[in-house]
Structures are given as C-alpha cells and as structure tokens.
Amino acid sequence: MRKYSKIIVIIASYAAFALTALNIALRIPAYTNVIMGCFAAAAAASAAILAFFIINFERERARKERENISRIMQSINAMAILWDADFRFVEVNSCLTNTIGYTSQDLSDIKTLKKVLPSDAFAPSLQAVVNNRDEEFYVTAKGGAKVCTIWNTSIVSVSSSRKRSRYLMLSIGLDLSESIRMKEDLIKYSKELAESETRYSLSMELSEIGLLLKASGSSSYYVSQQLRNMLGINSEYISDGVLRARFHPSDVMTFDALGGAMINCAVQDEESARAVHCTEFRLLSADNTYHWYQFRYKINPAETKLLADIGGAILDITQNKEKDSLIEKMAYIDDVTQIYNRNKFMQIGQETFECSRDSGITYWVIVLDIDNFHIINDTCGYTNGNKLLNEFGKVVQDSLTSGGFGARIGGDNFALLIRDSGDESLPVNIIRTIQDKFKTMCADNFSSQGMTCSAGYCKMSDGGGDFAKVLDHAEFSLSMSDGTKNDIIRYDNAVHDKIIKSAAIENELVKAIENNELVLYYQPKIHLGNGTLIGMEALIRWVRSDGTVVPPSEFIPVAESSLLITKISDFVLYEACRQNKTWQDMGLPPITVSINLTAVDFYQTDVKESIIKALDATGLDPQWLDVELTESLALKDIDHAIQQMQEIRDLGVKLSMDDFGTGYSSLSYIQVLPITLLKLDRSFIMYLEEDEISREIVSAVIRIAKSKKIETIAEGIETIGQADILKEAGCDHAQGYFYGKPMPKDKFEEFMQMKARESVPANS
Ligand code: C2E
Ligand code: MG
Ligand code: MG
C-alpha cells in the first residue's frame, strides 16, 4: 500500500486542484472556459515537471544501486559476475580476473567468456536462478589451467520497475582448488598414516619391541601387546608392585632407580628430558625364566607431562647377552691364567677412574713382574712356564681386597686395582703378601726357592688424565727397578722427574738430529774359532757439542715413544751401509755391519722399503747387512713379525735375534722365526765362569740353535775365561769388551786394518 501512496497523493492533489478550478469557474460563468483552460495548462505543466523529476530520481537510484553492487562485488573475497536479465555479461570483480588471468575487458567479449566458463555453467533462465542451485564446475584460466569453483546466482534488482529487463543476476563463485588440495592431502596423509601405523605395529611385532609407559600421575604402567606377549601377561596395565616383583632379585635396584629418576624428573632441565636413557635388567618372562631386557626410555619433566612420566621401548636381549658373555670371555679372559687380561683391566680401570673422579674414592694401581721369568721358561720349558703364570694368577686373585680387580696385562706382568682404605701402607702390604705366597708356591710346585717378583705402584689420584696414564706411571715405576729381587717402587717425584727429563731429552734430541750430533760407533764381532773379524755392530752415540757422549739407553727409549726413532733408524741404516761400502771400496776385507731396529721401525714403517733404499743409495751388497731384532720385539705380533722378517731375508739381508734370553721367551720360538744368528744376552755370559746353571743354559741354547742351523754369537764377553767356555760350548762368534769396545769410525778403521794385517799369512 505504501508503494501506491505517492500516486494516490498526486492523484488526490490533482483532483482537489480540479475541483477547486471547477468551483471557481462555476462561480464566474463568464470566465469558465478561461479558468478551465488555465487549470488544464497548469495541470499539464506540473505533470510534465513531476514526470521529469520522477524519471531522474529513478535513474539516480538505479545508478547508486549499481554502484553499490559494484562496490560489494569488488570488496568480497570471492569471484563475482554480474549479468543482465538475459544472462549477458555486465561486470566481473577483480577476484575473478586475478584468479583466471583475464581482464574485465577480455571477458566482455563473449568468445573469451565462453572459453572461461563451461557451456552449461549457468542455466540461462530465471527459473534456474530462482531454484538457487549451487553450481560446481571448473573454469578455465588464461593459459589453460582448470580452477575448480562453486557458484551461486541470485537476482539483484536495480529498479523498482517490474519490467524483466531491469533485473540483474549476480553470480558469486568460490575457488575450491585450495580446499580440494587440502582434501586430497588429507586423504593422502590419512592413507600414509594408516600405512605407517600398520608398518609401525608390524615392525614392533617383527622386531619384538615392547612399549612400557607410565601414565602421568598413575601408579601403573601401560604394557603394549608385544610386551604382554613377551612377559606372558594379559592386562594392558600392570601395577608398580607387580612389575617390581617380576624383576630379577639382583636387578630390583634398577627398578627402584627408575622410580627415583621419575621422582627427580620434576627438577630436570630440558636437555636431560630430551635425552634417551638406557638400562638393562632381567624380568620374569612368559616361559617362566628370567630374560635380559634392554629398556630405552625418556623421562618427561613434570611441567610437560605430555605422554607419560617415563616411557620407552623394551627389547629382549637375552641372546645377545649370552653371546656377549662368550665374547667377553674370549676378549677379556687370559688363556693361560683364566683371569682377566689387559683389555679388561684397561676397561675396568677407566670406568673406575671416571667413577673415582666423581665420587672421590681413590684406588691403588699395582703392576707386578716375575723376576727372571725367562729362566723358568728356558730351564723348565714353556708348559711349566705357563703353569707358573697360572699359579701366579691365583696368588694375585687371592690377594684382592673387596672391590679389587686383578689381571694379567702382558707376558709375566700382572696388575691390580685396589680400593684405597686410607692406609698408605696397604699396597706394600699386599705386594709383600703376594711375594711371600709366590715364594712358597714356587717352592711347593717348582722346587725353586729363589723365585721373586717386583712391583711398581701408584695412587690413581697422583696424576694422569686417564687410566692409561695412571697405569703408565705404575709401569714406569716398575721399569725403574734395577733388577733387585722383590723390588717395590712407588711412583713419586723422582719417577716423575725422570718422565720430565724424558720430555727434555726429546726436545734436545730434535735439535741433535738437526745438528748432526748423532754418530755411529762400531764394535767388532770376532770368529771364536780363528779370531778373525767377521762383522761389526753399529751402535749409536749422541756426541753433544761440548763433547760429552750420551749412551743410547738414555735417548733411544725416548725416541721410541716420540717416534723420532724413525729418523734415527733411517740415519743409522744409511750411515752403516755407506761406511761399510766405503771400507770395502778401500780394499779392507768385507765384513757384515749389524744395525739395531726397534718395534716402531718394525711394525709402524715399511722397513723393507727403507732397507732397499739404503742399499740402493750406498751400493752395499745385501749379504753385508745384518738386522738385529730383540725377541720381545718379534713376539709382539708374531705373525706379522715372521712375515716382515721373511721379506727382509728375501732381500738377502741377514737377521739376528738380539739379547736372546732376556724377555718372555722360549727356545721354541727360534724354530718359527727366519733368523740367521742368535745373540746370547750379556746376562748369561756375565756369570758363566762361576754359575753352573748359566753354563748349562748357554750350552743348551747353542746346541738347539745349531740343530736349527742358526749361528750363535755371545755378547758382553769381557774375559778370556768366558771366551773359552763359549768356544767349548760350540758358540760360533763373540762380541765384547774383551775383543774391542764400540769405537768411533776412525778408530774402528785402524782396528780393521790391524785385523787385516793379522790375518795375512806370515810368509806372505
Ligand atoms: P745391544 O744391541 O744389545 O748392544 C750391545 C750393547 O752392549 C752395547 O751398548 C754395547 O756397548 C754393550 N756391550 C758390548 N760388549 C760389552 C761388554 O763386554 N761389556 C759391557 N758391559 N757392555 C758391552 P750400547 O752401545 O750402550 O747400546 C745399548 C743398546 O742400545 C743396544 O743394545 C741397543 O739395543 C741400543 N742401540 C744402540 N745403538 C742403537 C741404534 O743405532 N738403534 C737402535 N734402535 N738401538 C740402538
Ligand atoms: Mg744389538
Ligand atoms: Mg744385545
């Protein structure tokens, strides 16, 4: 009714105006026609003015409405197309042009629009619009990309007129690409999740990993299906008490420690919360026996109670444990004594060392050496030697105090780790007890009264950055023993000073090498039968700038530990070959030159290559070079040694076993080593004249060597008496002060010339 109110008012106004004009015209009959004419003219003029205003007003309203529609279209975050009532394109918004890449102008061309929209995109009828369907279809963007969209079209009026042509249609469309991608991703992820869940539970099942989680604030643990199978329980949750009862009595402490860790979890920092802990214990399992399990777990700090206070994976490691104990036995148990070996001693020692640093509890480290063990080996045989070691091992084990640890750490060396009780005399008391028991044991089992053992010891807290250093200190003290029987030496300042001195020597030695202060002395080797000169041993000397001569015993060990030895040995090898070749070229009778090599030369460098180089460089024939190796060197790694020695022999170079009888040796080794000469150590020769046993050992060694076609030489002969005994025993050659001390090359040259003159027949 409101719609028509303006028209009624206008008609009513016109009617009132007409009635008023008629009333006036009737009152003045003479002017009736004039008055009515004027009225008609006024009515027509006002109607025209009114119509003009109405039309303009309507246009303005339509324009504003169009503007409003445009503004709304541009502001919405959706694609929009405005059509006329015949579905002819009127306007598009920027969201649409941005999405499909065409401009509004492009789209005003019907051909372009047809490329963008599928032919049946919008039902070109008002009826369809009224039905208000959501149309879902792809629009084609510039360049051909398909964009999935959904559209809804509605009528928007721009005029109050009911004429059909005054309607506009507004289609609003949403780009579905993103949500479709999300939907596809969602499908993909859920598929992957399902797959990974399947994989996870399959791998849990196949790898037999169980899960044990302690829910936040709960007094029971969640037990995964796999773990339930492993333990033979049905319930998904197991209480603290029941789980604890399943622990092996010796491992209950571990369970309690887990509980302790949880209590402490409130104070954990984030880093330790992220850490994965690992522990091992035995649990009563489905087959009613205890199995070993490894539990790898994490503890969540109290603030972040995400999943559980404590939780992790649990794995049955029973089989590994069994293998481990076998491997441990093979790797850590000494064959001869059945007590732990050096590897285990180092491992336990390092653990104890670290523990000691944290706890403040200290330990003593004692190293023992059986004095002159080689005598038992050589006089009683290898089997008896092993028996003695075995018995000594028992003595060592018996001497251990609670928490102590004993091992055989090498040939005839044993070591002990003893907890410090605060009594400084404890290590000496233990060593004395061992020495006494050892003496008694030898008297009982080996009819030997005189067996003794010496010891070096130190306190773990007396210095050293790791356990290896501590053991070094104890071994170093032992090496300081001057051979006195039942010696006991503590690592102290004097020993420490010696180490410092070694470091100083090392520094000086570097300079000595650069300044050519190292020279070779030569000591003659004599044929015992006819007294001729058959060879010489090149012995190194360090002649300082002030003329003092440093013996090799002071710097060779230092050079060995600092690897300077390689330089020294290269020098010795070259210089000995060069000098020998020079003397041969001078016409002196050719003799062999012997050089000494150390374990470092032998095991850490290509010794064969060095020898080839020296022989090539000097032109010396290989038959005039002899390499002396000590037995302890050869026995370090016997297989490697045999191979290296054979390679040297293959060059035509001779090989001698130096200092024979001083180490952990047995004559049986001679049979497997490709040596040409056996050098009997000075310690056998020293007492030859007064000691019957020494004489017997020497004769036996010479006899056995002869049977193996190995020549013998005795070193350290100082008296004619010694020389005679050796000659009688069948020893081939001799070396010692009796024949000549080590001499500088000029002196030795004179010696050679003198020997050459001696050997010339008197009548020539
Ligand atoms: P070695 O190879 O057993 O050398 C024999 C040592 O015994 C030499 O000591 C020699 O002077 C000494 N000697 C020889 N006859 C007698 C004797 O009748 N009475 C006494 N009391 N001693 C005698 P030196 O020259 O002091 O050498 C000691 C050790 O140093 C050598 O023992 C050897 O192991 C090592 N050495 C010497 N020169 C070299 C070298 O150039 N390189 C290496 N790697 N080691 C060397
Ligand atoms: Mg030698
Ligand atoms: Mg020697």
3-class SS letters over 563-593:
CCHHHHHHHHHHHHHHHHHHHHHCCCCCCEE
Nearest alpha carbon to residue 626 among 597, 653, 598, 649: 653
DSSP state letter for 420: -
pLDDT at position 499 is 72
Give the pLDDT mean for 753-758: 92
Nearest CA to ligand 1 atom 19: 716
pLDDT at position 402 is 63
Q: Give the whole-angstrom CA distance, residue 534 versus residue 100.
A: 105
pLDDT of 432 higher than 90: yes
Q: How far is the CA of 185 from the centre of ligand 3 (A)?
A: 82
Confidence of residue 178 (pLDDT cuts 50, 70, 90): confident
pLDDT of 174 higher than 50: yes
pLDDT at position 437 is 93
pLDDT at position 306 is 47
Q: How far is the CA of 12 from the centre of ligand 2 (A)?
A: 147
Nearest CA to ligand 1 atom 34: 596
> Which residues form ligand 1's pocket by a CB distance below 6 Å?
523, 539-540, 551-553, 556, 572, 596-598, 628, 658-659, 715-718, 735-737, 742
pLDDT at position 166 is 66
Q: Give the whole-angstrom CA distance, residue 604 versus residue 175.
A: 75
Q: Give the whole-angstrom CA distance, residue 421 versus residue 432.
A: 17
Nearest alpha carbon to residue 522 among 632, 626, 662, 613: 626
* Residue pair 155/169 in contact by the 8 Å Cβ criterion: yes
CB-based contacts of 192: which residues, under 8 Å, 6+ apart? none
Residue 400 burial class via C-beta count within 10 angstroms: exposed 0-12, middle 13-18, buried 19 and up: middle
Q: How far is the CA of 655 from the centre of ligand 2 (A)?
A: 11
Nearest ligand to the CA of 525 is 1
Kindly state the percentage of the chain with pLDDT values over 90. 31
Secondary structure (H, E, C), 49-89:
HHHHHHHHHHHHHHHHHHHHHHHHHHHCCCEEEEEECCCCE
pLDDT at position 267 is 45
Q: How far is the CA of 658 from the centre of ligand 2 (A)?
A: 6
pLDDT at position 646 is 93
Q: Give the whole-angstrom CA distance, residue 579 versus residue 576.
A: 5
pLDDT at position 64 is 84
Q: Where are the beta strands (DSSP E) in 567-710?
A: 592-596, 625-630, 654-660, 677-680
Q: Which atom in ligand 1 lies closest to the alpha carbon of residue 520? A: 41
pLDDT of 87 higher than 80: no
CB-based contacts of 500: which residues, under 8 Å, 6+ apart? none
* Residue pair 452/398 in contact by the 8 Å Cβ criterion: no
**For the ranges 14-18, 353-357, 441-445, 634-638, which has the lowest average pLDDT?**
634-638
Phi and psi dihedrals of 16, rounded to 5? -65, -40
Let me know how long the chain is. Answer: 764
Which residue carries 């020997």 as its tokens?
755
Nearest ligand to the CA of 602 is 1
* Residue pair 451/439 in contact by the 8 Å Cβ criterion: yes
Q: Give the whole-angstrom CA distance, residue 524 versus residue 750.
A: 12
Mean residue pLDDT of the chain comes to 83
Q: Give the whole-angstrom CA distance, residue 482 versus residue 165.
A: 126
DSSP state letter for 233: -
pLDDT of 745 higher than 90: yes
CB-based contacts of 392: which residues, under 8 Å, 6+ apart? 337, 370, 412, 414, 438, 441, 453
pLDDT of 3 higher than 60: no
Q: What are the percentages of helix, strand and coil residues in the chain, rounded to 5?
A: 55, 20, 25
pLDDT at position 448 is 66
pLDDT of 305 higher than 60: no
Give 39-58 pLDDT, tens digit per residue. 788 878 877 888 888 778 87
**Beta-bridge partners for 81:** 92, 171
Phi and psi dihedrals of 575, rounded to 5? -65, -40
Q: How far is the CA of 539 from the centre of ligand 2 (A)?
A: 8
Residue 392 burial class via C-beta count within 10 angstroms: exposed 0-12, middle 13-18, buried 19 and up: buried
Q: Give the whole-angstrom CA distance, residue 687 versus residue 694.
A: 7
0.85 exceeded by pTM: no
Q: 135 or 613: whose pLDDT is higher?
A: 613
Q: How far is the CA of 658 from the centre of ligand 3 (A)?
A: 5
DSSP state letter for 275: P
Q: How far is the CA of 742 from the centre of ligand 1 (A)?
A: 9
Q: How far is the CA of 736 from the centre of ligand 1 (A)?
A: 10
Kindly state the percentage of the chain with pLDDT values over 70. 85
Q: Give the whole-angstrom CA distance, residue 524 versus residue 583.
A: 14
* Residue pair 610/573 in contact by the 8 Å Cβ criterion: yes
* Residue pair 416/365 in contact by the 8 Å Cβ criterion: yes
* Residue pair 708/670 in contact by the 8 Å Cβ criterion: yes
Give 443-478 pLDDT, tens digit per residue. 887 766 678 899 999 998 877 788 998 998 899 888
Q: Which atom in ligand 1 lies closest to the alpha carbon of residue 560? A: 44
Q: 430 or 361: whose pLDDT is higher?
A: 430
- The neighbourhood of ligand 2, an ion, using CB within 5 A, equals 596, 628, 658
CA of 10: how far to CAs of 15, 16, 29, 42, 675, in Å? Answer: 9, 10, 28, 14, 143
Q: Give the whole-angstrom CA distance, residue 215 versus residue 218.
A: 5
Confidence of residue 277 (pLDDT cuts 50, 70, 90): confident
pLDDT at position 568 is 94
Encode 199-213: b = buried (16+ Cβ within 10 Å), e = exposed: eeeeebeeeebbbbb
Strands 711-715 and 677-680 come out as parallel
pLDDT at position 711 is 95
CB-based contacts of 396: which residues, under 8 Å, 6+ apart? 339, 368, 406, 414, 416, 434
Mutate to test the pocket of ligand 1, among 520, 539, 560 (most ligand atoms within 8 A of CB): 539
Q: Which atom in ligand 1 lies closest to the alpha carbon of residue 597? A: 44
Nearest ligand to the CA of 594 is 2
Q: Give the whole-angstrom CA distance, residue 141 versus residue 541.
A: 94
